[in-house]
Amino acid sequence: MSIDLSGLSAKELGALIKNAKKQQTIVAKRPAVTKVRAQLTKLAKAHGYSIEEVFGGTAPARGRAAKATKAPAKAVRKLGKVAPKYRNPANPKETWTGRGKQPRWLAALTSKGKKVEEFLIKKA
C-alpha cells in the first residue's frame, strides 16, 4: 500500500503520524482473530448453536481461503423468467426480454436511428 505524502505540510504529517500511532496501539492491544474466533465457536457450541446459526450463512473461511474470498455480494431479488420481447432481425436466435442493459445488437441498431419498437416480437 503506498500513499502519496508529498503534498502534506509538516503539521499535517505530524497529525497523520500521531493518528497512525494511536491506531497502531489500538490494533496491537486486540487479541488475535484466531483466538476470538475460537472463543466464539466454543461459546456457541456450549449453548448448543453452530456459528452458522448464530451469524447466518456459512462459517468464515480460514487461512489462505479467507484471503482469496471476495466480499459478500449484495442480496439480489430473484425475478422469474420472462419471455423475450425483442428479436434481432439479422439473427433470430438473439432476443432480449427488455430487462437490464440493451444487448449490443440492439444498441447498435438504435444508434443508427432505428426505434426499439421495430424489434418487438409479434404475439400470435
Q: So where are the chain's domains?
A: 10-68, 86-119
Arithmetic mean of pLDDT, 64-82? 70
Task: Centre a 10 Å sphere on the Cβ of residue 96 and count the other Cβ atoms it contains.
Answer: 19
Which pLDDT does position 53 carry in this prediction?
Answer: 84
What single-letter amino acid sits at 46?
A
pTM over the 0.85 mark? no
Task: State the Cα–Cα distance between residues 83 and 116, nearest whole angstrom.
Answer: 17
Overall average pLDDT of the 93-120 stretch: 93
Q: Mean pLDDT, to the nearest integer, of 83-96?
A: 93
Buried b (16+ CB within 10 A) or exposed e, 25-59: eeeeeeeeeeeeeeeeeeebeeeeeebeeeeeeee
